[in-house]
Amino acid sequence: MNFFLLSLIKAVVVAFVLLTTLAYLQWVERKVIAHIQVRLGPSRVGPHGLLQPLADVIKLITKEDLLPPYVNKFLYLAAPFFAVTMALLSISVIPFGAEIHVFGTSTWMQLADLNFGILFVLAISSMGVYGIALAGWASNNKYSLLGGLRSSAQMISYELPLSMAVAAPLLLANTLSLRQLVERQSGYILGFIPRWSIFQGPMPQIFSFIIFMIAAFAETNRVPFDLPEAENELVAGFHTEYSSMKFAAFFMAEYANMITVCSITTTLFLGGWLPPWPASAGSNFVAPLIFVVAGAIALYHGLNPARRRDRLTLPVVAVVFFVVAALFLIPFLQGALMPLFWFAAKTGSLLFLFIWIRGTLPRFRYDQLMAFAWKFMFPVAVLNLLVTGLLVAVFS
Amino acid sequence: MDVILFLIFAAIAVVCGINVVVQSHPISSAISLIGVMGSLAVLYLLLGAEFLAAAQVIVYAGAVMVLFVFVIMLLNAGAETRKGRSWMAQLLGLPLVFAFLGLMAYFVQHLFPGAPEVHFGAFRHGTALDVGRALFTQYLLPFEVVSVLILIAILGAVVLARKELE
């Protein structure tokens, strides 16, 4: 098929899925945080508040778009645009799944496989800080300025351990291309332990994984590192003066960054789309099993309804789940769907970790944040890189 | 296609470069400089030096310029105030610029008379593998010397920033 047409289709599909995930990630976050805090969370708009993201979007679009006086107009308008562009850009190199064959054409579930893919991601993420820093500066507000300053200091500091933690698994894989990185992690040690970077010899990258995750929390300005928008000291930090869609752009950028960082972690450390145990041991039946169990539960509650409308809705949900489970069992679709399932499962678990930690940990103090980056994370990351390099040099 | 992209990004680089000097506010100048760095990275990429392009963005646009912006924001530097310029600079400025450009063109012509034409994408040794191999074999000594130099700079910074111990 035509290269441009194929790329266009893939780009549209990826953009659509990404934006939907963005909207619903926020719903998942509100629900999970609510249940951690023994609340119900959004429950009014649609069943279980499932239409809440849609309502939020309408609300944000129709809100008044304020332009405060004495702002630097160009930068004030450009900053949210820049932030969201940089946040959405790096998804283009992430491999979601293995090669698929449709209508005689074969293509990878990835927009572009650059042979310096991981460097591209680092470059884009290092540019992302400008959106926040300039938004804080251009707003002509001292709280915003403090938020912007904190964010740039924090992102410079945590980028060092982040890059060091990325370098260590690259030494094992010996490539910078994200697709090859996943392919090098295929296979099993002793027949059942996957050769993912966190388990792979000669130096399992478990320390890199932990350092990367901590630095990723800081890079995405998430709790416990959300100093740039610490609401009890800075009102709302760098986006205090933003309203309507410009505020939504920062919101989207934060969630897009979370998704990117979790996808990169999956690719680097958790074997990307590869299953955790071989297909010969039945890893292909995990997804149908989950959907069948979910469908069975929905059916049970539909037959013993707590509310009147459950009698109709829950069986419908159950049927949908059974159909999805059946789709996973069709051999023709299985090859394409299972990698996608594993990638989504791993990334989703990491995203859940982000939300879980937000609901659990308090915020760092600013001096603790800096001391932690420079006096603990950075030395540990360097040490880990040195040991990995030494072991790789000795054993290969 | 390559030539069009080259022209676009070369133009952006030149315009941003001029903008660095023309802008009166330090933040605007810094942002123009980021534009220069970014378009330079694209030019490297067009030439096939992909590792250099990524390093350019990561190091210059992503780290050095963030520090610049950070310091400007921290010091809250205001816009530059225009003083009366000397009539000498106004009179001689433009002719001197052309004289300088002419001189540069002359030197380039005479120092590299047989420089081959640039072909986009013909250069195939820009991957991380090639750069790494060159750094650790052919250019090992300069590489190590630069490392020592940077180490000295770091030590100097630590000494300067250290609190005075009573």
Average pLDDT of the residues of chain B? 83
List, as ranges, residues 70-109 from B with C-beta within 8 Å of A.
Answer: 70, 73-74, 76
Q: For A343-392, write each residue's pLDDT tens digit.
A: 888 999 999 999 999 888 888 888 888 888 888 989 999 999 999 889 88
CB-closest option in B51, B63, B73 to A126: B63
The pLDDT assigned to A275 comes to 82
Residue A346 to residues A210, A236, A259, Cα–Cα distance (Å):
15, 32, 11
Give pLDDT tens digits for A28-38.
998 999 999 89
Position A329 scores a pLDDT of 81
Instruction: State which residue of chain B sits closest to A145, comparing Cα positions.
Output: B73
**Does one domain contain both B70 and B131?**
no
- B-chain residue closest to A74, CA distance: B28
**Where does a domain end: B40, B59, B78?**
B78
Residue at B146 is within a domain: yes
Q: What is the pLDDT of residue A281?
A: 73
Q: What chain B residue is nearest to A137 in terms of C-alpha separation?
A: B73
Nearest to B62 among A72, A126, A148 (CB): A126
Among B78, B103, B119, give the residue marking a domain's end. Answer: B78
Any domain includes B67: yes
Domain termination site, one of B21, B45, B78 = B78
CATH classification of the domain holding B74: 1.20.120.1200
* Plot region of A103 (φ>0 → left; ψ -120 to 50 → alpha; else → beta): left
B117 inside domain: no
Structural domain total, chain B: 2
Greater confidence (B61 vs B151) lies with: B151
B52 interface with A at CB cutoff 8 Å: no
pLDDT, position B122? 67
CA distance A378 to A158: 8
Q: Quick one: pLDDT at residue B50?
A: 83
Confidence of residue A243 (pLDDT cuts 50, 70, 90): confident
ipTM of predicted assembly, 2 dp: 0.79
Give the CA distances from residue A260 to residues A45, A207, B55, in Å, rounded to whole numbers and listed in that order: 29, 20, 20
Distance CA(A291)–CA(B83), nearest Å, equals 74
| Residues of chain A found within 8 Å of residue B69, distances taken between Cβ atoms | 130, 133-134, 137, 152
For the segment A253-275, the average pLDDT, to the nearest whole number, is 87
Q: Verify cis geometry, omega within 30 degrees of 0, for the bond prior to A275.
A: no
Residues in chain B closer than 8 A to A121 (CB atoms): none
> In this predicted structure, what is the pLDDT of residue B152?
95
pLDDT(A53) > 80: yes
- Return the pLDDT at B165: 64
Strand partners, B142: none
Residue B115 has what pLDDT? 67
For residues A43 and A35, the answer to whether their CB atoms sit within 8 Å is: no
Lowest model confidence (mean pLDDT) among A101-105, B33-37, B62-66, B144-148: A101-105
Half-sphere exposure of A372 (CA within 13 A, CB side): 14
Q: Is residue B118 part of a domain?
A: no
Whether residue B149 is predicted with pLDDT greater than 70 in this model: the reply is yes
- Average pLDDT for residues A179-204, to the nearest whole number? 78
**pLDDT for the residue numbered A352:** 92
Q: Which residues of A are less than 8 Å from B34 in CB distance?
A: 130
pLDDT bin (cut points 50, 70, 90) of residue B147 is: very high
Is residue B83 one of the residues assigned to a domain?
no
- Which chain B residues are closer than 8 Å to A134 by Cβ? 27, 31, 69
Q: Which of A37-51, A87-101, A122-136, A187-201 has the lowest mean pLDDT?
A: A187-201
Average pLDDT in the A77-99 region?
A: 85
User: Are the CB atoms for A147 and A238 separated by under 8 Å?
Assistant: yes
Smallest CA–CA distance, residue B84 to chain A, in Å, is 26
CB A246 within 8 A of CB A78: no
How close does chain B come to A39, measured CA to CA in Å? Answer: 41
Q: Which residue has the higher pLDDT, A243 or B85?
A: A243
- The stretch B27-31 carries a mean pLDDT of 86
Q: Which long-range contacts (CB under 8 A, 24 or more apart) does B138-143 make?
A: none
Q: How confident is the model at residue B153 (pLDDT cuts 50, 70, 90)?
A: very high
pLDDT at position B74 over 90: no
Confidence grade of residue B148 (pLDDT, cut at 50, 70, 90): very high
Place of tokens 């540990």: A380
Q: Which domain holds residue B51?
A: 1-78
> What pLDDT shows up at residue A173?
82
Q: How does residue A14 score in pLDDT terms, banded at 50, 70 and 90? A: confident
Q: Which residues of chain B are within 8 Å of residue A393 when distances are taken between CB atoms?
A: none
DSSP state of A66: -
Q: pLDDT tens digit string along A297-326?
A: 888 888 887 777 777 788 888 888 888 888
**pTM for the whole structure:** 0.85
pLDDT in tens, A271-283: 888 888 777 777 7
Kindly report the nearest CA distance between residue A277 and chain B, in angstroms: 32
Considering only the beta carbons, identify the residue of A116, A152, A153 that sits closest to B54.
A116
